Amino acid sequence: MKILVPVKRVAALEDDFRIRADGRDVDDEYLNHDLNEWDTFALEQAVLIKEAASTDVQVVVVTIGPAECDEILRACLAKGADRALRVWDDSMAGSDPVAIARILAAVARKEAPGLVLAGAQSSDHGHATTGIALSAVLDWPHVAVVAGLKYGAGDAQASATRELEAGVLQDVELACPAVLTIQLGINKPRYASLRAIKQATAKPIEVLALGELGMAGSEVGEAGSASRVRRMVVPEKGRAQMIEGTVQQKAARLAQIIREYKAA
């Protein structure tokens, strides 16, 4: 069987930075990139399932992005992934989390995994949307924010423990194939050995274009996205204010502030 692990190359801001000329993102010169932390736990869980299996299990990592993303895929190969896929086409630029989920769903249909393990969220945007949207596109069962998992390779069901608010845990059983989004702390991600890192540099990275997934350009990028970034701004300091009054008065004042901001 296969376990599909979507991963993301995330950006972290330096102390000093500038907004891009188009105002829609931070200038890449001021960003540091790495493998998303949540994804390292998802990958480790997949590798643990593979190591405990008595049958053949293949861990496949996939990312959506240009050639710069190869570095995180090689990091995943060094930590136990068997294959690495990168999907990219210029028309995918500007895809929102739901459009990304459509692409990942096309990959899942092509690879036919028995389980998809994704990070619960990304450390840069933190939408916590892609994994759940992926399950909706595939019409597969899902559990979000998984803090514990009992699953053997090829099992028809999985037992997951998910985090709820206020530290409450919930035990869930679901049929497979399924999509699980993995929370920090479910396991202890391994470090890649120097030997594994060297071996990973020699492994191939499979690159897929949009047409190979049977998708059209209208399904991805800004054309296929319900949301987009209009602009990014650095908030002015000293503008915080307490909104007082009844719930209705607070809501009305908040709505007024949003309207004023949008009109600015």
Q: How many CB atoms lie within 10 A of CB 256?
A: 10
**Among 206, 232, 172, 193, CA closest to 73:** 206
CA–chain centroid gap for 205, Å, is 19
Write out the chain's pLDDT in tens, 264 residues.
Answer: 999 999 999 998 888 888 888 888 888 888 889 999 999 999 999 999 999 999 999 999 999 999 999 999 999 999 999 999 999 999 999 999 999 999 999 999 999 999 999 999 999 988 999 999 999 999 999 999 999 999 999 999 999 999 999 889 999 999 999 999 999 999 999 999 999 999 999 999 999 999 999 999 999 999 999 988 888 888 777 767 889 999 999 999 999 988 988 876
Contacts of 247 (CB under 8 A, 6+ apart): none
Exposure string over 29-43, b if 16+ CB within 10 A, otherwise e: ebeeebbbebbbbbb
